[in-house]
């Protein structure tokens, strides 16, 4: 779920790529779930994070910047890889894009502050330089939300993605009885070996 109240309910949800039927997010997404492109999956995100982790700090940061910059291949809002037409942005994927950045940062073992500074700097340049220049030249521009800490509007989603990726998980043997069931005491007069193998 989106950690920002109503964060993923502000955008319309479309029933098809032609935009013939649209429903307000509050009705189409009553549980405020993060929305992702249909062809996005966690295995792909994990593979990308593993590649970053094995690339070393300098090369890994370079790859992260190239992939997550506006229009980069890991930009869930804009890249054609996710089925989004060129020059378009998908508002419904804003929260999940930030969560994805946080998750990959955590899984790759990078300090979150590096991605926050990189993402914030890119947002600042885009919002205060590139988009005004585009408007001045009469080109299509996009509003960039820079209202959050370090110019990141989706800080809560980034932080949740990072914490979910780096959470210490219990090993399977602590949470799974592997079909053996409870190993409590056998009732008096019962052959314990027979009871355990029923």
pLDDT-derived band at 122 (thresholds 50, 70, 90) equals low
- Look up the pTM and report it: 0.69
**What tens digit of pLDDT does each residue of 57-116 get?**
889 889 998 999 888 999 998 899 998 888 788 888 888 988 999 999 999 998 877 777
Please give the share of the chain, as a percent, with pLDDT higher than 90.
21
3-state secondary structure 49-96: HHHHHCCCHHHHHHHHHHHHCCCCCCCCCCCHHHCCCCCCCCHHHHHH
């Amino acid at each position: 779920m989106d950690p920002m109240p109503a964060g993923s309910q502000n955008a319309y949800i479309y029933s098809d790529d032609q935009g013939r039927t649209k429903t307000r997010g509050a009705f189409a997404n009553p549980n405020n779930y993060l929305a992702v492109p249909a062809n996005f999956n966690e295995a792909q995100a994990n593979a990308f994070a593993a590649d970053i982790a094995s690339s070393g700090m300098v090369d890994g940061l370079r790859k992260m910047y190239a992939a997550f910059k506006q229009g980069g291949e890991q930009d869930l809002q804009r890249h054609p890889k996710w089925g989004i037409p060129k020059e378009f942005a998908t508002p419904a994927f804003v929260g999940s894009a930030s969560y994805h950045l946080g998750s990959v940062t955590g899984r790759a073992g990078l300090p979150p502050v590096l991605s926050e500074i990189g993402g914030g700097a890119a947002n600042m340049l885009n919002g205060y330089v590139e988009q005004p220049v585009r408007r001045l030249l009469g080109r299509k521009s996009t509003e960039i939300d820079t209202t959050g800490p370090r110019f990141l509007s989706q800080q809560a989603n980034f932080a949740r993605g990072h914490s979910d990726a780096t959470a210490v998980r219990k090993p399977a043997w602590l949470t799974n009885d592997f079909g053996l069931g409870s190993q409590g005491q056998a009732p008096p007069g019962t052959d314990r070996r027979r009871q355990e193998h029923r």
